[in-house]
Chain A
Amino acid sequence: MAIKINPNGTKVWALRDRQTQLLNWAKWFIGTIIFMYCWQMISAETDWDFFWDAPTIAADIGGRSVPPKWDYISELGRPLWDTLNIATMGTFMAIVLAIPVAFMAAHNTTPNKLILRPIALLIIVSSRSINSLIWALLLVAIIGPGVFAGLIAIALRSIGFCAKLLYEAIEEIDENQVEAVTATGASRWQVMAYAIVPQIMPALAGITVFRWDINIRESTVLGLVGAGGIGLQMQSSMNVLAWPQVSLILLIILVAVLVSEWVSAKVRGAII
């Protein structure tokens, strides 16, 4: 709390003292300079004629996309099923692989702090920092286009996410239960099965559903790089400028995302 003194000598309450105020201004000033510099770079790269043309083009595209081509929906059943499969199977695979990684990464369950834990953390970090679209790009180059590449891409991206949340849950368990089960003479695996697993089961289910919801969203776009699902149809429709088909696909993606979000919220609500 600081005091500001008016010219006539009266003391007035102020939120910050002079020094903090100056410091804050300096921070804002530097931030603004960096932002202006960045903006200049973006602006230099931009063709501003296109920008001023944008409302016309947007109106044009908008006009072409309505009404959506409803008949096209008959061709979208299979891609939608593929999308669902990519997301669901990818999540399954990721969870199966994430469980051992999480147990290796958690402080209280890791079998080896010096070697295995850093390896597990490295797996988590590298899986998390690479977007599933990059994974898909990579896998399409390696194992060829198709649903399988998308599925593996989703799985690889999700391992890090699931393992990170899961190992945080494992580190937060109630140690008393572990101690109680250990006191009965249980082996290492029995302790895990009877003391740790029951405690993290709700977290595991919650994480799975949460990631499944995200994966539905992500798998809708994997087709853009050739990894199967409804994105393929979108890409080919855009390539031939079939805007009524594109708008129908966008609508379907929107509905799929909203439904999966609703399902995931319901399931998580039931668990917690």
Chain B
Amino acid sequence: MTSENIAAQRIWTRPPIIPNPNLRWALIIGTIIYLIASFATIDVNWIRVYEGLERGKKFILAFSNPNFVDRWDEISYGMIESIIMAFSSTVVGVIISIPIGLGAARNIAPLPVYLICRGIIALSRALHEIIVAILLVAIFGFGPLAGFITLSFATIGFLSKLLAEDIEDMEKSQAEAIKATGPSWLQWINYGIQPQVMPRLIGLSIYRLDINFRESAILGLVGAGGIGATLNTAFDRYEFDTAAAIIIIIIAIVMALEYSSGLIRARLQ
């Protein structure tokens, strides 16, 4: 056989994404087995789903005719409460997360402090806001205070972790230069490290305000204040037009927040 013949017989195929064939086949077969097992165990009441389509259509139609008027008092009250909770919890969360973030940066904190701060961060990140809110409502009673504490706690996990990572990535020479002038520890932090992480800290705080507002919209489901309670009532009464109005307001506020936070963050960088 001549070499041209061999070349003609060999057809190019795309290289597979996972080069190791054993791993590839194991993954494919595992996925198929999992899919079969999960399809077999999810029991869907198709009749109920089919009956629900009518309601689904009604709900989608409600978006073309949202009802802002009938429950405007409740909606506006819930919205203001949500915004207030989001804002104040962001402020308190940021203030608390700065020392924890400093403590969780390995390059400036001693090991015991580092471990404690990382522990706080891990705990705050692992628990879903709703679970924290349920426990806090049980402890502090109904109302926005429980929601405020929940969101502050969630902010700490988010912000401290990212702040600590930012401090760990900082330019060492700047901090060293300040240290060479003989500052106190606070002066060192303030002049050597703070200017380096400040833009990112402000950007992250604004981003977190955005997240906190979104989260505050659901805390009302468990009685922790905010618009969620009104939304829940609207669904329970099948008042889809009011629910649509609330959802439209939430989307509008989230979009406005996201847009302005994008602008501010772009200006900082």
Residues on A lying within 8 angstroms of B by beta carbon are 15, 31, 34-35, 38-39, 41-43, 45-47, 50-51, 54, 57-58, 61, 81-82, 85, 88-89, 125-126, 128-131, 133-134, 137-138, 141-144, 146-148, 151, 194, 198, 201, 205, 217-218, 220-221, 224-225, 234, 238, 250, 253-254, 257-258
Does any Cβ of A come within 8 Å of B143's Cβ?
A: yes
Given contacts A42-B88, A131-B214, contact A137 B128 (CB under 8 A): no
Considering only residues 206-224 of chain B, those with a C-beta below 8 Å from chain A are: 214-215, 217-218, 221-222
CB-based contact A45/B235 at 8 Å: no
Does any Cβ of A come within 8 Å of B34's Cβ?
A: yes
The interface on chain B, measured as residues whose beta carbon lies within 8 A of the other chain's beta carbons, has a size of 58
Residues on B lying within 8 angstroms of A by beta carbon are 14, 17, 34, 38, 41-45, 48-49, 52-53, 55-56, 59, 80-81, 84-85, 87-88, 91, 126-128, 130-131, 134-135, 138-141, 143-145, 148, 191, 214-215, 217-218, 221-222, 225, 228, 231-232, 235-236, 238, 243, 247, 250-251, 254-255
A57 to B138, CA, bound (A): 8
CB-based contact A35/B254 at 8 Å: no
Contact of B85 among A35, A42, A201 (CB under 8 A): A42
Can you list 29 A-B pairs, Cβ within 8 angstroms, ordered by A? Answer: A15-B191, A31-B91, A34-B87, A35-B87, A42-B85, A45-B81, A45-B144, A46-B140, A46-B143, A47-B143, A61-B139, A82-B41, A85-B41, A85-B42, A88-B38, A125-B251, A125-B255, A130-B250, A131-B215, A134-B217, A138-B235, A141-B55, A142-B52, A143-B56, A144-B49, A146-B44, A147-B44, A194-B14, A253-B127
CB-based contact A89/B42 at 8 Å: yes
Given contacts A51-B145, A130-B250, A131-B214, contact A57 B139 (CB under 8 A): yes
Nearest A residue to B54 via CB reads: A142
Extra A-B contacts (11), CB below 8 Å, given A82-B42, A125-B251, A130-B247: A38-B87, A41-B80, A45-B143, A46-B140, A57-B138, A89-B42, A131-B215, A137-B221, A143-B52, A148-B44, A253-B127
CB-based contact B42/A50 at 8 Å: no
Contact of A201 among B17, B34, B38, B235 (CB under 8 A): B17
CB distance from B176 to the nearest CB of A (A): 19
Residues on the A chain within 8 Å of B49, using CB:
143-144, 148
CB distance from B266 to the nearest CB of A (A): 15
CB-based contact B91/A141 at 8 Å: no
A241 to B232, CA, bound (A): 23
CB-based contact B14/A41 at 8 Å: no
Residues on the A chain within 8 Å of B127, using CB:
250, 253-254
Nearest B residue to A205 via CB reads: B17
Nearest A residue to B39 via CB reads: A89
